[in-house]
Amino acid sequence: MFNKNVCSLMMVCLGSVSLAACDSIDGSSDDDSDSVAYVQFYNASADSTATSLVLDDYQYTDVEFGDAMPRYGYDTGSVDMEIYGLDEYEDTVSIYSQTIILSNEANHLYVLYGDYVSPELLDIEYDRSDMDDINDDEDSDDSKMQVLVANVTSEDNAYDAYISLDSDSYQDATMIGSINYGGYTSELMLNTDEYIIYLTEQGTDNVVYTTDSMSLTSETVYKFVLRNSFGSGDLKITLDSVDSTSTPVTYTNIDSTADFRVFNGLEDTTLDIDVVSKLESHYLKDITPFTTSEYSQTGFNDYGVTVTNAETSEVILDNVLVTFNQDDIRTLLLYRDDTVKGMVIEHDLRPRAYEYNVDVANLSQDYDDVIVYFVSSTETIESAQYTIENLDFEEQDSLVMPQDDYEINVVYESDNGTQTLLYQSDLISFDGDTNYSFVLTQDSQSQFGYTLHQL
């Protein structure tokens, strides 16, 4: 049985018979065991809660969507494997289980994917022995690494993956392999260097995805996992590089677009908005107070934003700089301080099982350090479990909370402890397929003089 004291959930690398190694980025091991396998876990189930790998009742640390645990050594033989997650009551449950066989020197990356309610597990088994032999050879002048690509996006997506030096083009690229949904390529060994990966529609030269330059300079196996994303555009996929460490690197398609919209937080002014770059322009007309425009899709670029009073044609904000990056989904918030200003809120549109991401921005210039309480039907402000605290004017914050009905209370507490209720909502049902974004503004027509607007 595994000695749980050997390596804590904080991933302290100490070593034991069962936990053979806590690998560094190069995946090397000082273990002298005659029989050891290597395991790693990556969470690609987009609507999942945090999940964890469990081997023979030993639970590794939780892994959020798009994240991974490090590569670890483990005893060979028959192993009972489970994946733990949370249910709708935030209780730990087993969402996947099977008995696996771990062979000596085998390397496994277990990828959880698909619907969290009924997930699948992809076992990526790869061989690094030839690479390690070359890198251990003192007579070799080459420094080697390996790449492979897995596809856990959707059943409709199949691609061919290519790789080239970042100084070359697609025409010079080497094919890594062809990947259907739920599959992965063989490992390809290359010199350590700077590279670009390309994805084409399977069987064609139609490039649909191109990464930025990637520094693949460690002597390790880079497991590139093609997973779902929830940004702009139609493709909605992204590529994560999983090496032997716990933090994948995400490579967005360099040709992705961005989506943006505008919220008019000026109580008494209808706005016209010009969003202009050297390559394209967008003109949004007649945005009335406390309303949000429809999303516009645009190329990634730096834009100048000019805001005009729609009734008087007076320019009230001139050519303020706003940047939209690849795959961004953002809302430009316009509000008044001494002058008209703008700030950007970036949205997380990933659907989640049983929980929601909530963003709140404070555009009320009269109050700093406000507290936003999300009060369920069994709570009061004093007992509320979910809060956003110390939210200053022109600041934004977010939290993840379980699906439920909440009353939102916005409170300011003075230095002497006196609490002022700035806003109180009706009971709101947090359910459906979307996350939530709110903006606090002054509003002379509301009961308290302030309103929390849902974007």
Q: Are residues 236 and 153 in the same domain?
A: yes
Q: What pLDDT is stored for residue 247 in this prediction?
A: 87
- Are 341 and 377 within one domain? no
Residues 168 and 221 in one domain: yes
In a domain, 14, yes or no: no
CATH of the domain at 202: 2.60.40.2890
Here the CATH number for the domain that contains residue 57 is 2.60.40.1430
Say if residue 160 is in the same domain as residue 238: yes
CB hemisphere CA count around 71 (13 angstroms) = 27
Give the Cβ contact number of residue 203 at 10 Å. Answer: 10
Count of domains in the chain?
4
The four Cα atoms 365, 367, 373, 377 give a dihedral, to 10 degrees, of: -90
Taking the C-alpha atoms of residue 249 and residue 237, their distance in angstroms, rounded to an integer, is: 14
Would you call 302 exposed, middle or buried from its count of C-beta atoms within 10 A (0-12, 13-18, 19+)?
Answer: exposed
Instruction: With respect to residue 61, please indicate whether it lies within any of the assigned structural domains.
Output: yes
Judge if 367 and 342 occupy the same domain.
Answer: no
Final residue of a domain: which of 92, 126, 160?
126
Residue segments in the chain with a per-residue pLDDT below the cut of 50? 1-32
Count CA atoms within 13 Å of residue 248 on its CB side.
28
What's the start-to-end Cα distance of the chain, in Å? 52
And the tokens for 163?
């790789």
Identify whether 118 is part of a domain: yes
Same domain, 141 and 122: no
The answer to whether residue 17 sits within a structural domain is no
Are 72 and 110 in the same domain? Answer: yes
Residue 397: CB partners within 8 Å, gap ≥ 6? Answer: 359, 360, 388, 391
Check which CATH number belongs to the domain holding 400 and give it.
2.60.40
- Is 15 within the bounds of a domain? no
Q: Which of 126, 147, 163 is the endpoint of a domain?
A: 126
Domain of residue 243, residue span: 133-251
Does one domain contain both 154 and 240?
yes
* Angle 387-230-199 from CA coordinates, rounded to 5°: 150
Contact 51, 43 (CB under 8 A): yes
Does residue 218 share a domain with residue 173?
yes
- Shared domain for 117 and 42, answered yes or no, is yes
**Alpha-carbon distance 425 to 374, whole Å?**
10
Residue 190 lies in a domain: yes
Last residue within a domain, chosen from 126, 159, 179? 126
The pair of three-digit structure tokens given for residue 346, joined into one six-digit string: 């970036």
CB 287 within 8 A of CB 273: yes
Tell me whether residue 5 is in a domain.
no
